[in-house]
Amino acid sequence: MKSLLIKTILSITILGALVACTENKKPEINFPPTDLTVANMIPKPLKTIATNNAFGLDQFTAIYTSQTENGFAEVGQYLSDKINEVTKLNLLVNERSENSVDRIIYINQSDSTDLATNESYQLYITKDSAIINSKTAEGAFRAVQTFRQIIPETSNDTLAEQPIWPIPTGKIIDAPNFEYRGSMLDVARHFFSVEDVKKYIDLLAYYKYSILHLHLSDDQGWRIEIKSWPKLTEVGGSTEVGGEGGGFYTQEQYKEIVDYAAANYITIVPEIDMPGHTNAASVSYPFLNGNGKKVKLYEGTHVGFSTFDTRKDTVYAFIDDVVREISAITPGPYFHMGGDESHVTKKNDYIHFVNKVEKIVKKHRKRMIGWDEIVTADIDSEAVAQFWASKENADLAVKKGMKVILSPAKRAYLDMQYDSLSKHGLHWAAFVPVDSAYIWTPENYEGIPTENILGIEAPLWSETISNIDELEYLAFPRAIGHAELSWSTQENRDWDNYKVRLANQAPYLDRMDVKYYPSKLIDWKKSKYSYTEIKKD
């Protein structure tokens, strides 16, 4: 109690001293009235109240954090870097400035009971200060994304020597609707470089995603170095769909992705898909193969023809090594065992296999996720089912008391074509235009009780895409809508309102050089980078 009091007094003193610097200041600028409630925030916050003034972000603004430990100073520096990307301003973090400081952004660790989760935050913006309150640096990081989204792309006067970016004033109270807010990248059908994955992480972080699931193995490729089984990458990683090159992440590179994701408060979920989708592993080590045929590298796009031999102890010894090595470099709580489309595995063998793998995953202290088919085995309620196709399996998961991740293909699959003219993508589940990807209700989806829903994941399978431009074409803008579906409450989601905010993402997407699909359903805002116009030709 006493320390809390001291901390509060200290914070007030710092604030007071800083704002006191403003006593001998320049004349006040009168900005036109603002309205925070119509700012272009995605996902839409829980509660937004406008006070119609402006906080002038300029070179006389400084960033302070109430504590430098537990990630807070890093979040302050991240904010400064991101402000620099838009404005070229260099805001000091936790340093006394030689210039006078007119306004401050103060990131405050708070144990207030109003902050229900680690990701909850409050953002209070007045003319002189922007204050973020959160329990953890994770909450502050989510708040910082909101702050970034309300910085105008251009200053009040681009020709002025000391430009100012007017930020609308008001209060935001925010918290996530679902904790699991994910996307998946299939780096197995086509390989994507560490740089590509990092760019995807940057974009996901901006929209408050918390999970990136990496589909690290499939028939066409094995993409993660396993030191005890080196041929997996030497042989299994040597090709991809269409036969060009392939590739894999060394464990060092995988750790680099994991660390980069962690700095963006995104958890990596690694997937080794089995017992089906295992041709690349079986080519590397033929004793694994259980389909009775001779295996060779595969560069096509069929599914369902491969299986591990589920009755051999050596297969489980192999899996134990794989799960152990990957778990050791994965700080997040999950390990995804795939389990989908094992069409050539006998039903009994499949159940036996999933039961065995569940034990291995537990032994390595991870919580197992699997595609919805895994619920047909005798797994316990700790495991998580990812609902992509079978409602029957989803119901069975609920019966078993399991959590479910919603990835209904006809809504959430990012690899579905927008329409019949889409350059990339498949349409086996549906054509998924931008509105259809957004207009559905995860709460109680197809009768699954909301309390069983861990969250939503938007998977991007890569049979039809082989580079980052094509990846971005399918993922954006639909991934932005899934972010809102998983963070914002049902009352705060509305297509007509969303589509205006989405249109206003164009300047950000252009600045990030994202080759999004410029759907005609959206009246894209022109940006000073004018990339959208070029694309519309």
Residues marked active site are found at: 341
Q: Using alpha carbons only, what angle is made at residue 433 by residues 432 and 436, rounded to the nearest 5 degrees?
A: 75
* Nearer of residues 430 and 521 to ligand TNX, judged by Cβ: 430
The site for ligand TNX, by CB under 6 A, has a size of 10
Q: Give 91 or 416: the residue with its C-beta nearer to ligand TNX.
A: 416
**Closer residue to ligand TNX (CB): 415 or 510:** 415
Least distance CB 474 / ligand TNX (angstroms): 11
Strand 121-125 relative to strand 129-134, pairing: antiparallel
Asked if 190 and 466 count as a contact pair (C-beta separation under 8 A), the reply is: yes
Q: How many CA atoms lie within 13 A of 493 on its CB side?
A: 21
Task: Give the shortest CB-426-to-ligand TNX separation in angstroms.
Answer: 5
CB of 432 to ligand TNX, least distance (A): 11
Name which of 413 and 445 has its Cβ closer to ligand TNX. Answer: 413
**Contact between residue 303 and residue 241 where contact means Cβ atoms under 8 Å apart:** no
Strand, helix or coil for residue 368: strand
Site for ligand TNX, residues 408 to 447, rule: CB under 6 A: 413, 415, 426
Q: How far is the CB of 188 from ligand TNX (least distance, A)?
A: 9
Out of 341, 470, 494, 533, which residue is the one contacting ligand TNX (CB under 6 A)? Answer: 341
Q: Which two tokens stand for residue 350?
A: 């499949």
Closest CA to 336 of 277, 251, 401, 395: 277
Residues 281-310 that bind ligand TNX (CB under 6 A): 303
**Hunting for tokens 């993922």 — which residue is that?**
475
What CA–CA distance (Å, rounded) separates 367 from 203? Answer: 27
Reduced to 3 states (helix: H, G, I; strand: E, B; else coil), residue 239 is: coil
Instruction: Tell me if 240 contacts ligand TNX by CB under 6 A.
Output: no
Site for ligand TNX in 445-474 (CB under 6 A): 461, 463
Q: What are the CA-CA distances from residue 393 to residues 304, 368, 396 (Å)?
A: 18, 16, 5
Measure the CA–CA gap between 480 and 213, rounded to whole angstroms: 17
Q: Which is nearer to ligand TNX, 60 or 371 (CB)?
A: 371
The SS3 call for residue 138 is: helix
179 binds ligand TNX (CB under 6 A): no
Please report, as residue ranges, which positions from 351 to 410 form the binding site for ligand TNX (by CB under 6 A): 371, 388
- Residue 342 C-beta: closest distance to ligand TNX, Å: 10
Q: Is 340 in the site for ligand TNX (CB under 6 A)?
A: yes
| Closer by beta carbon to ligand TNX, 371 or else 498 | 371
Q: Which is nearer to ligand TNX, 341 or 435 (CB)?
A: 341
- Asked if 283 contacts 237 with a C-beta cutoff of 8 angstroms, the reply is no
Q: Which residues pair with 266 in a beta bridge?
A: none
CB of 462 to ligand TNX, least distance (A): 8
Q: Are strands 211-215 and 267-271 parallel, antiparallel or unpaired?
A: parallel
Q: How far is the CB of 494 from ligand TNX (least distance, A)?
A: 29
Q: Say which residues have a Cβ less than 8 Å from residue 314's Cβ, sequence separation at least 6.
A: 287
SS3 label, residue 61: strand
Where on the chain is the footprint of ligand TNX (CB under 6 A)?
Answer: 303, 340-341, 371, 388, 413, 415, 426, 461, 463
